[in-house]
Chain A
């Protein structure tokens, strides 16, 4: 029973990390880092809550989460892809901006409520038969729609990247944008679309924190988890299957930490457990022989010097 609980929570905790890291893998293959990821997570959480609260429909919450993510993503794409400005600087600015805007818009809509406003969070959807499997049944097959989506998207993402024309274009753009240009494909358009798509997914990921889980919104709801998704992209060596493992490790660590905290067991300091995945990331990064980092990651594609 305890194992089932830990696993179930681990999958929940990893859901947004999986979505976010997959989105980051795709966009980075086109040569653009989505450095606004933390802010987009936050806007997604905001959009999810506001949409759900105002329409009383979680569906519209998810839609508004994606829209909010895409809006930030569009600004990011315009500045970095079209105007060719520095990605890290732009990302930092947008993250700060999102932090302010989400809180501001929340207060404009709802004032400063004494008790936090809540909505009912996404319901679990038990898969018939499968959810009856002992131990793992409840953990794997009784989750909400976003968790299922994340688990399905990882292998689908892998397949798209490495087995389709689209994936080939995506992987080529960050490796040598000029080759893509010479092959008759519009580099800026590819990069822009990738940023927008990744932002939509990141919006969903952010919404998981507000309506997939807690049923409420606060300004510290993301708390750096966008950056964790960003790091998992590295950890997984730009491979969705690697990111799947990385995301699950982080989820498991967070889940164990919660368990230890609530049960009062003190084997190791809680903070150490939470820090473990970060330490792992650093070790994995140092130890790795071959990096699949796209050669032109972070370098704007300038066709005509003028």
Chain B
């Protein structure tokens, strides 16, 4: 690598205010030619906002942007693209019902010629190892492929500064490696990459330099060679944080959950779960790993009565609950932490106290005759707020005013109260900062140690590896294999997540 590199992008004193929050507070940032800059920070630190400003999707309230040393105004992504800036968004900006070539052509200047663009897609795909069928419908492509389409969109517009917003969140370990190969290849052509992430190991792997954001401000910027994971973690969180690692289960008891060969057909007529069987015992966490969209959500929904199974049986402590109403399943002591707390877990316009009793509106604990017992509801809420350390001005505050971490604590508190036997947790730490994530992890382990059975469904492999006593891999609605904690191998699990079966020695 050359020693002195030219600056490609410089952001000076960028501020961005959303109603009530300062997303970016006088941020300075520099990206050099031919370097990979990791933009590191917790969820909510302001990384996406800052990069959306550079890409022209948001307008900065203060500050200036310089490209190659010259001040520029970027009013829309169109301007950004003309300056050679491309962005891969965390939630892909693709039109699912259109083909790859239509997606790439959207907004492209020049004559409407799908054939020529398809040819260009193939050429670029070969050159960078991003092959994809130009005439495939995006909706039918796996997420890894969809990401390629996003990258190709930027490449075809001749981007030389590529922003990638948490690109590995949806990928398997092998896909991540391939993405890193692309990033290195792209950098070697003198291009720059801004790589947004909150995963420390990735930073150490791919970055040349690291800029850390915390609560909307720049904490610091250091070259990779001077960085260490622990130092970065401290910069990110602002204090020392000792992360919990799960100890293996000690007292495994009787079978609590027995899923017996279930099959589920989606409303579109696809078979989303196919011959799935497993058991979970008291005092044990079963982790289900897999790329999202392989039947995880459907599995959780069947367990909680939100979806019917066409075949098979589900028993909780020996009692069949398959296709029972949610209320009956709740009565059996099954708690459910859904993957989307805002739309499924909470009613954001209701108060913390109301959300904490939400599923108990017919429970004698919260009712007096036909009416709700408001005193009992509030008392329950005060106790839970105290026990789970939920930061809220009062129990009658609307839940939407809480931070993501505290919202999740409301869900967790309620579901743990319900889950006397089994807790189903789907992506329980999605979008949480490290502190809140660690809290949820500790709670799951604590409940396990109390003798509950826990089903943990997550696409974060590190979370699964860290907490589970046994690990199953789900692919296209089937469990390919279940590992015990001792012989779980991350490489093999990664391969299984893409459907490649190794030697099966169950």
Contact = CB atoms under 8 A, between A and B. Distances in A.
Given A168-B102, A182-B57, A305-B18, A175 B77 contact: no
B112 A185 contact: no
Given A164-B112, A303-B57, A183 B96 contact: no
B388 interface: no
B84 to A, nearest CB: 13
Contacts of A183: 77, 93, 106-108, 153
Contact of B107 (A164, A178, A185, A295): A185
A177 B24 CA distance: 25
Contacts of B81: 184
Nearest to B89: A182
B19 A306 contact: yes
Nearest to A166: B112
19 contacts: A163-B112, A168-B102, A168-B105, A169-B107, A172-B102, A175-B97, A176-B95, A179-B94, A179-B95, A181-B93, A183-B107, A184-B80, A185-B78, A185-B106, A186-B76, A303-B57, A304-B18, A305-B18, A306-B18
A182 B18 contact: no
A171 interface: yes
A171 B98 contact: yes
Contacts of B76: 184, 186
Interface in B97-121: 97-98, 102-103, 105-108, 112
A150 interface: no
Contact of A172 (B58, B77, B106, B153): B106
B357 interface: no
Interface string A147-190: 00000000000000001110011011001101111111110000
Interface residues of B, number: 29
Contact of B106 (A164, A180, A304, A305): A180
B497 interface: no
B93 A165 contact: no
Q: Is the interface of B mostly helix, strand, loop or mixed?
A: loop
Nearest to A174: B95
Nearest to B20: A306
A306 to B, nearest CB: 4
A161 to B, nearest CB: 12
A164 B102 CA distance: 11
A179 B93 CA distance: 4
Nearest to A165: B112
A176 B78 contact: no
Contacts of B55: 182
Contacts, number: 74
A8 B97 CA distance: 39
Given A165-B112, A169-B106, A295 B77 contact: no
Interface of B: 18-19, 55-58, 76-81, 87, 89, 91, 93-98, 102-103, 105-108, 112, 153
Nearest to B16: A304
Contacts of B80: 184
Contacts of B78: 184-185
A176 B112 contact: no
A168 B97 contact: no
Given A168-B112, A183-B107, A304-B18, 4 more contacts: A176-B95, A179-B103, A292-B97, A304-B58
A292 B78 CA distance: 29
A176 B107 contact: no
Nearest to B23: A304
B98 A181 contact: no
Contacts of B106: 168-169, 172, 179-180, 183, 185
A33 to B, nearest CB: 18
Contacts of A171: 95, 98
A295 B93 contact: no
Given A164-B112, A180-B106, A184-B107, A172 B19 contact: no
B93 A182 contact: yes
Contacts of B79: 184
A144 B268 CA distance: 46
A170 B106 CA distance: 10
B77 A184 contact: yes
Given A304-B58, A305-B18, A180 B96 contact: no
**In the A-B complex, the 6 residue pairs with the closest CB atoms:** A184-B78, A183-B107, A182-B93, A184-B77, A306-B19, A179-B93
B407 to A, nearest CB: 16
A295 to B, nearest CB: 7
A163 B102 CA distance: 11
A179 B88 CA distance: 11
